[in-house]
Amino acid sequence: MSSREVVVLSVGGVRFVTRASTLQQFPESRLARMVNDNDREFKLVNGEFFVDRDGALFSYIMDFLRTLQVSLPTDFSDYQRLQREAEFYGLYPLADLLSQEHLLKPRLEILEVRFSLQEMQAFFRIFGSCSTTIEALAEQITVFTGHQSGQGWNSPFPSQNPLVPLPLERPSHHDMVFPCGTEYSAGDQFVARYVSIKPDKRKLINGTNVLGLLLDTLLKDGFHLISTRTVASEEKVECYTFERMKRAAGLAIVVNQTPGSSGVAQARRSQVQKGK
């Protein structure tokens, strides 16, 4: 059996097809012994190994064996049952990671956008409970500045003069500040500040338009608008509050084969940052 390339398992009536080498990732596990015909509890029926366990939970076991990472849905709640399944199969490194439930659970993330409109200028300040989200958003937003003649707030297009990108103001790791619009410089000269938010390629000068694009960008990124309020009516400061469930950092197992270890996998934990 150890030389067979493809192995078929029927776990609780759910059929899985995988490579023998995948099941042998951890040579001390029962799945590895099953492939090597060293575990009699797993019965071979019509060329398939029959396993009287939970088939739905085994799909997460297979994902772990294929990727060596624990990646669970945001609404997953059966940590103890999955840990018990991992222990049954002898996958103790996985069971150890699942015991750290607090590291695997998704976290609620809050983001707040403050928008202030003053004459021909608009000012934005974005606060976030997750600094990595603010960092990623700062990479998407670019402010350009340039001089224009006789053009003000109502000019939607950049002038022919070259525009210079400006760095965003970062009061802390959890917030950013940037302006847009125009202000008088000298004579009929205006200082114009345009805002671009990737992947949109437009350079917008109207604060209301920038606000609309920013809110749309956040909604597409999985945030949900939960409240709007006026913070300071005299200064016309509006506040938009968003939330989303942020997937927790995935936990990974790194398997090292060392000389003299008789092929036994040695595992250590490391955290791997997942995507949104």
91 and 112 part of one domain: no
Does a structural domain hold residue 237?
yes
232 and 136 part of one domain: yes
Parent domain of 80? 6-103
CA 4 to chain centroid, in Å, comes to 38
**Does the structure show a pLDDT above 60 at 257?**
no
- CB-CB contact of 251 with 63 (8 Å): no
CATH number at residue 139: 3.30.1410.10
CA atoms within 13 A on the CB side of 203: 17
CA 154 – CA 182 distance, rounded (Å): 10
Does a structural domain hold residue 96?
yes
Does a structural domain hold residue 276?
no
% pLDDT > 90, the chain: 51
85 and 198 part of one domain: no
Name the amino acid, one letter, at 236.
K
Does a structural domain hold residue 262?
no
Residue 193, classed as helix, strand or coil, is strand
Name the amino acid, one letter, at 181.
G
CATH number at residue 26: 3.30.710.10
20 and 95 part of one domain: yes
Name the amino acid, one letter, at 274.
K
Query: Domains in the chain: how many in total?
Result: 2
- CB-CB contact of 190 with 149 (8 Å): yes
95 and 112 part of one domain: no
Task: State pLDDT tens for residues 158-184.
Answer: 555 678 898 899 999 999 999 999 887
124 and 213 part of one domain: yes
Task: State pLDDT tens for residues 127-148.
Answer: 999 898 999 999 999 999 987 6
Angle at 192 between CA 186 and CA 193, to 5 degrees: 145
113 and 220 part of one domain: yes
- CB-CB contact of 199 with 221 (8 Å): no
